[in-house]
């Protein structure tokens, strides 16, 4: 395998492994492979570490998982680092990556501003293994609006936010999209913009974040708890430190159910989703109960009856959780402000972008200084299919997966020997706490490379039969769950022309981990070795 690269040069020529991407996964691979004595480098397209936390530096961008599980579980790192908030923002996460760099001495093996390509001239490196750690929400989706290029103001995608920042204060700001990025942008910009216009296609069943700021005493208490949290996360379905309640909400009295809902609601974060009843994920009537509870809470926060109808209709816009719920802290209140307008683009779609703003189909031109595209990502597969990589049969990965992704165990794909990926299709990915998933897949990959070396083997590739069986399993599991039947980035339905399919393995991380281990224990069952 040879991979060309553009721009920065490194001395990397013959490597054991080339890692693409310097977010959580790539860093973990570099650290663990180096520790085992392998030569390894990272190519990173960005100018710094952090992956998603490098690109998503828009106002209000912050993580939606508790800091305690959203960091590396390596003791040499967590014992000396304190986050100041329960859900840290991008600035603090960048500081954390800087700290990790200093502790683990990472940058000496990373070529920044460097993209892995196969067409451009440049130095060629010859890694024995290629590990794509390119993230699942890395490839931004830009809608193809007529006239977008003619807009005279500033227009930015949230995931390509200017690194130097952008002044929103006193500006006429338009946000297109109300997913997690949109929610965060809207609640930050509403109070400071002269006017904020939000273009909403689908209402967001967003839940309370419940931020906490920590003082020194709390840090001390949390450090004592940390080893227990790290162990607890290894016992749960999604590797969060709380778990889905393994019973139906109809098996208990309505009173008991309400008390459990209230309890989980008050905890904030994903507790009301990943910490409630198992049938919410598969049974529409159970799911409707959760939505009814959510709706009652949210209606109290919105003044205008018309706005209430837009944000919390009687009938769910989609089953609760079928799109990843966003976390908010003043989102609904923003729409009570006189300087904020909601435009329902399901009823009245965007017709075009003009030099002055956004024109909707009713002929109204919404004049803007800044357009923010919070329109999401070609998620899960996009960051892999946008790299020009060909298999041994000459077929590029984007063509192989054009009608649907197929992998074995969500870590490799047939015809692409020695190419691994993390946080990609058919793995728990979006249904797993990120840094934990990185460890599970990362440890497996490092162990695989070490075992091959110890047996003097140089090549590993999944068999087509194993890939086909595994891909069927992913679809069978998903077919029992509500999310797989609704349009979202979980299924690729957010990208025009993309195959619609379940992109994640949702049988739980414990089962996923067992399948990986079982393959290794059975001599890399499902793989062809040579």
Q: How far is the CB of 63 from ligand N01 (least distance, A)?
A: 5
Instruction: Name residues contacting ligand N01, limited to 322-361 (CB under 6 A).
Output: 324, 327, 345
Taking residue 249's Cβ as centre, other Cβ atoms within 10 Å add up to: 22
- Should residue 413 be labelled a site residue for ligand N01 when binding is judged by CB under 6 A? no
- Here's the x/- map for ligand N01, 45-84, by CB under 6 A: it reads as ------------------xx--------------------
Cβ 401 to ligand N01, closest distance in Å? 19
Are 263 and 256 in contact by the 8 Å Cβ rule? The answer is: no
Using CA atoms, how far apart are residues 244 and 251, in angstroms rounded to an integer?
15
Q: Contact region for ligand N01 (CB under 6 A) — 104-112, 171-179, 187-195, 438-446?
A: 171-179
Stretch (H or E) spanning 208: strand 207-208
State the minimum distance, in angstroms, from the CB of residue 323 to ligand N01: 6
Binding flag, residue 182, ligand N01 (CB under 6 A): yes
Contact range with ligand N01 by CB under 6 A, out of 37-45, 93-101, 113-121, 368-376: 368-376
Cβ closest to ligand N01, residue 66 vs residue 101: 66
* Residue 94 C-alpha from the chain's centroid: 17
* DSSP conformational letter for 277: B
Give the contact letters, 192-211, x = binds to ligand N01 (CB under 6 A), - = no: ---------xx---------
Give least dist CB 485 to ligand N01, A. 15
Task: Write out the binding residues for ligand N01, residues 467-496 only, by CB under 6 A.
Answer: 489, 494
- Ranges within 235-294 binding ligand N01 (CB under 6 A): none
Q: Residue written as tokens 């959580």?
A: 24
Closer CB to ligand N01, 150 or 235, in the complex: 150
Pairing of strands 116-117, 124-132: unpaired
CB nearer ligand N01, residue 18 or residue 345: 345
Q: Which residues pair with 18 in a beta bridge?
A: 41, 130
Q: Which helix (H) or strand (E) holds 266?
A: helix 254-267
**Strand bridging mode 527-529 / 460-462:** antiparallel
Beta bridge partners of 344: 200
Question: What contacts 24+ positions apart, CB below 8 Å, involve 102-105?
Answer: 103/76, 103/77, 104/27, 104/31, 104/77
- Farthest-apart Cα atoms in the chain, separation: 70
274 vs 445 by CB, closer to ligand N01: 274
- Pick 114 or 383: Cβ nearer ligand N01: 383
| DSSP at 500 | P
DSSP of 366-425, one letter per residue?
EE-SEEEE---B-TTTHHHHTS--B-TTS-BHHHHTTT----BTTTB-TT-TTEEESS-T
Choose the binding region for ligand N01 from 173-181, 242-250, 271-279, 288-296 (rule: CB under 6 A): 173-181
The answer to whether residues 368 and 172 touch, using CB atoms and an 8 Å cutoff, is: yes
Nearer CB in complex with ligand N01: 28/199 = 199
Could you say which of 21, 51, 59, 177 contacts ligand N01 (CB under 6 A)? Answer: 177
How far apart, in whole angstroms, are the C-alpha atoms of residue 70 and residue 79? 14
Task: Find the binder of ligand N01 among 23, 88, 179, 410 (CB under 6 A).
Answer: 179
What are the residues binding ligand N01 (CB under 6 A)? 63-64, 137, 143, 176-182, 184, 201-202, 324, 327, 345, 374-377, 489, 494
């Amino acid at each position: 395998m040879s991979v060309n690269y553009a721009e920065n040069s490194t001395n990397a020529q013959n490597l054991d492994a080339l890692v693409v991407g310097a977010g959580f996964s790539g860093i973990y691979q570099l650290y663990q492979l180096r520790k085992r004595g392998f030569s390894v480098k990272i190519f990173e397209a960005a100018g710094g570490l952090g992956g998603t936390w490098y690109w998503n530096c828009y106002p209000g961008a912050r993580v939606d998982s508790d800091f305690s599980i959203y960091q590396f579980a390596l003791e040499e790192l967590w014992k000396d680092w304190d986050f100041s908030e329960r859900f840290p923002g991008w600035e603090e996460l960048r500081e954390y990556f800087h700290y990790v760099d200093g502790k683990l001495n990472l940058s000496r093996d990373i070529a920044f501003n460097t993209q892995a390509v196969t067409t451009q001239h440049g130095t060629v490196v010859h890694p024995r293994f290629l590990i794509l750690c390119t993230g699942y929400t890395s490839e931004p989706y830009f809608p193809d609006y007529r006239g977008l290029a003619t807009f005279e103001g500033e227009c930015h995608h949230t995931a390509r936010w200017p690194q130097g920042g952008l002044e929103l204060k006193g500006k006429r700001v338009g946000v297109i999209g109300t997913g997690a990025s949109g929610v965060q942008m809207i609640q930050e910009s509403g109070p400071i913009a002269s006017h904020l216009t939000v273009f909403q296609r689908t209402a967001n069943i967003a839940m309370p974040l419940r931020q906490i700021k920590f003082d020194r005493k709390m840090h001390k208490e949390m450090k004592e708890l940390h080893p227990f949290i790290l162990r607890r996360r290894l016992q749960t379905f999604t590797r969060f430190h709380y778990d889905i309640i393994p019973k139906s909400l109809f098996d208990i009295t309505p009173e008991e159910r309400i008390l459990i809902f209230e309890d989980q609601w008050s905890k904030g974060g994903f507790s009301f989703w990943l910490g409630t009843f198992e049938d919410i994920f598969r049974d529409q009537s159970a799911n409707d109960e959760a939505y009814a509870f959510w709706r009652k809470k949210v209606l109290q926060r919105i003044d205008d009856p018309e706005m209430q109808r837009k944000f919390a209709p009687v009938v769910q816009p989609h089953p609760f959780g079928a799109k990843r719920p966003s976390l908010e802290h003043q989102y609904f209140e923003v729409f009570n402000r006189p300087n904020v307008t909601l435009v329902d683009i399901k009823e009245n779609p965007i017709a075009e972008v003009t030099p002055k703003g956004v024109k909707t189909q009713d002929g109204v031109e919404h004049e803007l200084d800044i357009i923010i595209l919070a329109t999401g990502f070609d998620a899960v597969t996009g960051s892999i299919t946008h790299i020009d990589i060909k298999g041994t049969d000459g077929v590029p990965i984007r063509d192989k997966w054009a009608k649907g992704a197929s992998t074995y165990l969500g870590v490799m794909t047939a015809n692409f020997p020695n190419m691994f990926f993390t946080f990609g299709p058919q793995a728990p990915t979006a249904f797993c706490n990120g840094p934990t998933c990185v460890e599970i897949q990362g440890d497996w990959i490092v162990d695989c490379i070490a075992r091959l070396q110890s047996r003097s083997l140089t090549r590993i590739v999944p068999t087509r039969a194993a890939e086909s069986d595994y891909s069927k399993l992913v679809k069978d599991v998903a077919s029992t769950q509500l999310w797989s039947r609704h349009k979202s980035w979980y299924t690729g339905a957010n990208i025009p022309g993309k195959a619609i399919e379940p992109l994640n393995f949702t049988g739980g991380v414990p089962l996923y981990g067992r399948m990986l281990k079982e393959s290794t224990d059975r001599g890399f069952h499902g793989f062809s070795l040579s």
